[in-house]
């Protein structure tokens, strides 16, 4: 098993993210070291999209990783509710 730092670097490279950003996510508790995959190619699309969204929120809005995580959770919930509304409208 590789070290968490090696997995972090590999994940950052795979997702084209700054490793320092992922370290900030770890420090903020947004990302857990146990969540760093051995094989970065195994990261599912939803998690990759979430990390990219967090990066955009941190960079674009200048909020910290924890606040970005809360915002991302709320945005994901809104999208889920919008899909549900669309599904109900189709009936």
Residue pLDDT, tens place only, 40-54: 888 888 888 989 999
* Per-residue confidence (pLDDT) for residue 31, from 0 to 100: 86
pTM to 2 decimals?
0.79
* Per-residue confidence (pLDDT) for residue 34, from 0 to 100: 77
Q: For residue 29, give the CATH number of its domain.
A: 1.10.1660
pLDDT beneath 70, residues of the chain = 1
Question: Which tokens is 38 given?
Answer: 């051995």
Instruction: Provide the 8-state DSSP code for 39.
Output: S
Q: Contact, 30 vs 54, CB < 8 A? A: yes
Domain total of the chain = 1
Q: Element (H or E) spanning 3, and its range?
A: none
Can you tell me the distance from the alpha carbon of 36 to that of 22, in angstroms, rounded to the nearest whole number?
10
Residue span of the structural domain in which 55 resides: 4-89
Dihedral class, residue 62 (left if φ above 0, else alpha if ψ from -120 to 50, else beta): left
């Amino acid at each position: 098993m590789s070290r968490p730092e090696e997995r972090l670097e590999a994940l950052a490279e795979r997702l084209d993210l700054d490793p320092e950003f992922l370290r900030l996510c770890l420090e903020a508790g947004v990302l857990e070291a146990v969540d760093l995959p051995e094989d970065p190619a195994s990261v599912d699309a939803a998690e990759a999209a979430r990390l990219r969204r967090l990066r955009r929120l941190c960079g674009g809005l200048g909020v910290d990783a924890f606040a970005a995580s809360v915002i991302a959770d709320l945005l994901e919930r809104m999208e889920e509710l919008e899909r549900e509304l669309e599904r109900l409208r189709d009936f």
